[in-house]
Amino acid sequence: MKAEGGGQRAEGSGATPRLCKALGNAHQERWQRAEGMNSHWSLPLTSYLLLITYYSMNLAVASTILGQEEAVDILESVIEKSQADDVFVSLSSQESALSRFSENQISQNIQKNKFSLTITSYFGKRSASASTTELDPDAIAQTLRRCEDLARFAPEDPEWVELLAPQTYEERQPAFDLATADLTPLTRGEIVQEVCQLSVKAGVAGSGTFSTNVALQAIANSAGLRGCDRNTRADFSFTARQDNGSSWSQLTAWGVEQLPILDATEKVIQKAILSRNPQEVAPGDYTVIFEPNAMAGLLPWVIWNMDARAADEGRSFMSCTDEAGQPMGNRVGEELFSPLVQIQRNPTHPLLQSGRFFGNGLGNSYLEIVRDGSPQALSYSCYWAQQKGKEANGSFFPIVMAGSEKTVDDLIAGTEKGILVTRAWYVRYVNPRTLEVTGMTRDGTFWIEEGKIAYPIKNLRFNQSLPAMLKNIEAVGMTKRCGTSVIPACKVNNFHFSSITDSI
């Protein structure tokens, strides 16, 4: 059942038989013994926490995720009561739930309902913003008045642009999976319990999170712009450790049924066991196979830096400069990367099915970013597009990089000598202008020889130009959703490792 008001989702009765079924016969016997002895501490800690979750959720109230009509009504009310020359309003409503586990036991269950209403008021070229997490009429009215008071005394914005006119968004809906929206804490716990059991059986320490998110975003302005979307998302992250070996994987989808949690768990466990007792490999330039999750730690840095203003002002790897180092345009159309690099913004990709608009109201539609290794576009903000006579195109995310039918094993089989990287960790700038970054491998790094994984190696620190990395891509593999992107495994030549690190 569901009840009105803030708080958590309420559960129905009769959870004990279901829980016992999830935990197996042995755990059921322990529950029965504990019930007869009036001592719940006879249960394994994981099982006990599942029971605590169930009983605590029975005392809670239901979801407070806003409906689309209700959200639009709130925005319309703000615009109607605004006294500013112009006003932009955005409203987000999120219900997130998470189960955390550590050392093969559930350690935390969280459910959070969050509202955020942000108002931006304009008096000429003066503007200010104010936000509230309370949606009662008095709180909204107070936020609106505070916003307008601040805007009246704000300095004029030298980069002011007019509000967006009404936009024509694509006639589609983002992915909204009812099973994900209705997933109970008990069901999450049952799935995590299976993951922990696999870890115990293999003798590894398993840790991670399993979470779901239901979100609604609505926007409106006084120029007539209106937009409202809702979507769901599910994430599973798992790390397995044994002695001095470890491995990790991250899964993301718009529906829980798309997450191959148990398959991924078994693969991570196997890789963690294989990664024990790593050997040293000298720093240098190597052929490297990046799994999709590892590539997802690097590729977005390139996309973030494909900003038109930064390129035009000489602050980007996309900048053209004269002999004196002064900016003179950008490098759109040049073949900067391998011809295998094909990147698009593609919100309708089956694995993504993202929202129809960005937070500022610009539409989120298909856009070709890189074709055959040549950048085809830069990201233009509304202000910079106005300055340059271009069309504003918003964020480049969500990105999709084209792959192939080759598996990671296929890429390994075609490699005489090289390194397999599971994860790129703690990536940071070395030189923002050239897009040289540093970071470390983590959670499973292996030496490849004669087309096979030969042995685990110690983690390595890299210092690498990312445009050069994309230039040196020799092969791409199958794609996977990684966060808000779809990215393939990549085989890269001459990737530079600068030192060895003893971290696992």
pLDDT in tens, 428-458: 999 999 999 999 999 999 999 999 999 999 9
Q: What is the pLDDT of residue 502?
A: 84
Residues of the chain with pLDDT under 50: 1-43, 48, 55, 57-61
268, 480 contact by CB (below 8 A)? no
Q: What is the pLDDT of residue 51?
A: 54
Beta bridge partners of 127: 122
Q: Residues with Cβ < 8 Å from 402, sequence gap 6 or more?
A: 342, 343, 344, 476, 479, 488
Question: Whole-angstrom Cα distance, residue 342 to residue 346?
Answer: 12
Q: What is the pLDDT of residue 5?
A: 32
Long-range contacts formed by 195-203: CB under 8 A, 24+ apart: 195/101, 195/238, 195/261, 195/262, 195/265, 196/46, 196/101, 196/104, 196/105, 196/106, 198/262, 198/265, 198/266, 198/269, 199/104, 199/240, 199/265, 199/269, 200/104, 202/240, 202/242, 202/269, 202/273, 203/242
Q: Residues with Cβ < 8 Å from 390, sequence gap 6 or more?
A: 308, 380, 384
**What is the residue whose two structure tokens read 């992107």?**
485
From residue 168, alpha-carbon distances to 361, 364, 441 in Å are: 10, 11, 44
Query: Could you give the angle at the alpha carbon of 382 between the alpha carbons of 378 and 387, nearest 5°?
Result: 80
Q: Which helix (H) or strand (E) holds 353?
A: none
The answer to whether the bond into 398 is cis (omega within 30° of 0) is yes
Question: Whole-angstrom Cα distance, residue 411 to residue 492?
Answer: 11
Angle at which helices 25-37 and 15-23 cross, to 10°: 130
Q: What is the DSSP letter of 256?
A: G
Q: What is the pLDDT of residue 50?
A: 55
- Nearest CA to 493 out of 432, 411, 435 is that of 411
459, 500 contact by CB (below 8 A)? yes
403, 395 contact by CB (below 8 A)? no
